[in-house]
Amino acid sequence: MNSGDTIVAPATPLGFSGLAVVRVSGPSAFKFAEIATHKKSLKSRSATLVTFYNKKGEKVDRVVITRFVAPASYSGEDMVEISSHGNPTIVDAIVSTFCSHGARIADPGEFTYRAFINGKMDLIQAEGVAALIKSKTIESVKEQQKIISGSLSKLINKLRSKLVDLVSFLEYQMDISEEDLSAKDKKNVPKKISALHKEVLALSNTFVRGKMLNLGVTAVITGPPNVGKSSLLNALCGENRAIVSSEPGTTRDIVKSEMVLGGVPFVFLDTAGIRVAKSAIEQEGVTRAKKLKEKADLVISVSDNPKAQISKSGSQPHIFVVNKSDLHSKKPNKAIIHISCKNKTGLNVLLQEIKSALKIAPISSEASLLSTPRQSAAISACAKSVERAQNICKTVGLELELVSFELRSGINALDVLLGKTTPEDIINNIFNNLCVGK
């Protein structure tokens, strides 16, 4: 925990809600906030409504921002609190924007830790904060130290051991062995690093699925009017969420339906019928629909014409569905799924296709997936270090102390994640029990 940094984190739990709060604390808190809101000198201790922009200058949200000048703040440092709409994507964008300007995601309890360090509260008060938020955890000391559970932790420890073995070998070569590296070793070292890099990268890539499990998937349903998108939504989610009528243009707003598929929380968004808008309201709907489509994890295009052209845009998985198969003869076409909402046929095939497009496979709760941004950041940092070690072998040559330096950085990233502290340590427990952002 380096108190020279500026830290950022959501202070409210992830999920959909009315409001979300993001906290920033540290020497550059004001600077970063001013850049992000395009406002010089925000008023102190006063809630101001501003627009928040990401690094590219795109608008993220209209937010309420409050500035606290040190030491009159929670942490005792300069702080900014931002209240935005309670959408995880918005919160993510706000946090990422601060990170892109140079802030760092806070460690669990780091705001409260800084408050303690800056003398804003003593340990009894700090314990009180923790107790307030999570009353269960202080009781069982052992449980408190579990940052990761079960097989994921085993996997990370195994990875760590391999890195340590390789570093030990390198140190032996530099510090004990007076002989040159054998030709065999000269080939093996880069090979071992490559293999380790692949492993770390593979683990890092599990965050895509892990994040899905944790935060859910957004799927957008698009298509021309009156093809049965709303019916499809109802058929999938089993409720009359949308207004179904045969008049085009009845779905004006974007209708949201939720469902769990293969253990993954899904949010289906049914967008307005795409056609030339005749009114401003319709135009707004069309614009919103386009934006959502870009950001979705999955796009399902619906048509009722089996001969419709398949056009794919965007990089995410895309499924083409032809509805009302009861009204036309099925021509087998692998790229298209034929369904009939009315007769409820083809729906299972569609569900399977959705699962496979997003690579949702049956997984146990103990599976080794990274599921939080903290885990992902640590494993990515490790992967980067191992990659740099690889590059040293390729570019500079087999300079062992440089390779060792990078591998040790990788090990350090894992150690931070594994939280190498003793369970008896009460102070650590207090701060680690608080989530990121507290």
Partner 1 sequence: MKHDKSFDVIVCGGGHAGIESALIASRLGCSVLLVTLDIKAIGRMSCNPAIGGLAKGQIVREIDVLGGIMGLATDKSGIQFKILNQSKGKSVWSPRAQVDKREYESFVSSRVLNNNKIEVLQGEVVSLLCSKYRAQGVVLRNGARAFGKSVILTCGTFLNGLIHIGQKKIRAGRMGESGAEGITEFLLSLGFIAGRLKTGTPPRLDSSSVNWGKTSTTRGDDLPLPFSYETSSFDPPNVACHTTTTNLNCKEVIQENLALSPMFSGDVGGVGPRYCPSIEDKVYRFAHHDSHTLFLEPEWLRSDQIYLNGFSTSLPEHIQLKALRLVPGLEHVRFFRPGYAIEYDFFSPAQLKSSLETKNISGLFFAGQINGTSGYEEAAAQGLIAGINAAKLIQEKEPLILKRSEGYIGVMVDDLITKDTLEPYRMFTSRAEYRILLRFSNAHARLCAHADKNNLLSPARYKKIRASLALIKKMLESLNHSVLPSKINSKLLALGESTINQATPLKNILKRPSVTLDSLALGVLGESNKESITKEAKIEVEAIIKYEGYIKRQQDQVDKMKKNESTPLPNNINYFEIKSISNEAREKLSFVQPETFGQAMRVSGVTPADISALSVLFLKRT
111 belongs to the binding site for partner 1 (CB under 8 A): no
Give the type of residue at 367: A
Could you tell me which of 297, 258, 294, 292 has the C-alpha nearest to residue 272? 292
Strands 217-222 and 264-270: parallel
Query: Which residue, chain included where needed, has tokens 């570019």?
Result: 395
Which residues 367-396 are close enough to bind partner 1 by CB under 8 A? 395-396
Q: Output Rg (C-alpha) for the chain, integer angstroms.
A: 26
Q: Which stretch binds partner 1 (CB under 8 A): 18-26, 115-123, 210-218, 236-244?
A: 115-123
Q: Which is nearer to partner 1, 177 or 305 (CB)?
A: 177
Query: Which residue, chain included where needed, has tokens 């270090």?
Result: 385
Q: Which two tokens stand for residue 218?
A: 């957004």
Q: Which residue from 14, 50, 99, 117 is in contact with partner 1, where contact means CB under 8 A? A: 117
Q: Which residue from 402, 423, 434, 438 is in contact with partner 1, where contact means CB under 8 A? A: 402
Q: Which residue from 49, 176, 260, 280 is in contact with partner 1, where contact means CB under 8 A? A: 176
> Across-strand partners of 261?
264
Spell out, one character per residue from 180 to 199, where the chain touches partner 1: x when CB under 8 A holds, - when not.
Answer: xx------------------
Asked whether the beta carbons of 13 and 109 are under 8 A apart, the reply is no
405 belongs to the binding site for partner 1 (CB under 8 A): yes
Could you tell me which of 202, 207, 130 has the C-alpha nearest to residue 429? 130
Min separation Cβ 419 and partner 1, Å: 11
Q: Which residue from 58, 139, 175, 247 is in contact with partner 1, where contact means CB under 8 A? A: 175
Min separation Cβ 179 and partner 1, Å: 8
Backbone angles phi, psi at 5, to 5 degrees: -85, 165
Spell out, one character per residue from 418 to 437, where the chain touches partner 1: x when CB under 8 A holds, - when not.
Answer: ---xx-xx-xx--x------
124 belongs to the binding site for partner 1 (CB under 8 A): no
Q: Which stretch binds partner 1 (CB under 8 A): 118-126, 214-222, 230-238, 348-356?
A: 118-126
Q: Which is nearer to partner 1, 19 or 69 (CB)?
A: 69
Where on the phi/psi map is residue 417: left (φ > 0), alpha (ψ -120 to 50), or beta? Answer: alpha
Min separation Cβ 380 and partner 1, Å: 18
Give the type of residue at 75: S
Q: Which stretch binds partner 1 (CB under 8 A): 1-9, 135-143, 245-253, 338-346?
A: 1-9
Which residues does 39 contact at the CB level (< 8 Å), separation at least 6?
A: 48, 50
Asked whether the bond before 225 is cis by omega within 30 degrees of 0, the reply is no
3-state helix, strand, coil in the chain (%, to 5): 45, 15, 40
69 belongs to the binding site for partner 1 (CB under 8 A): no
Q: Which residues bind partner 1 (CB under 8 A)?
A: 1-2, 4, 113, 116-119, 123, 171, 173-176, 178-181, 395-402, 404-405, 421-422, 424-425, 427-428, 431
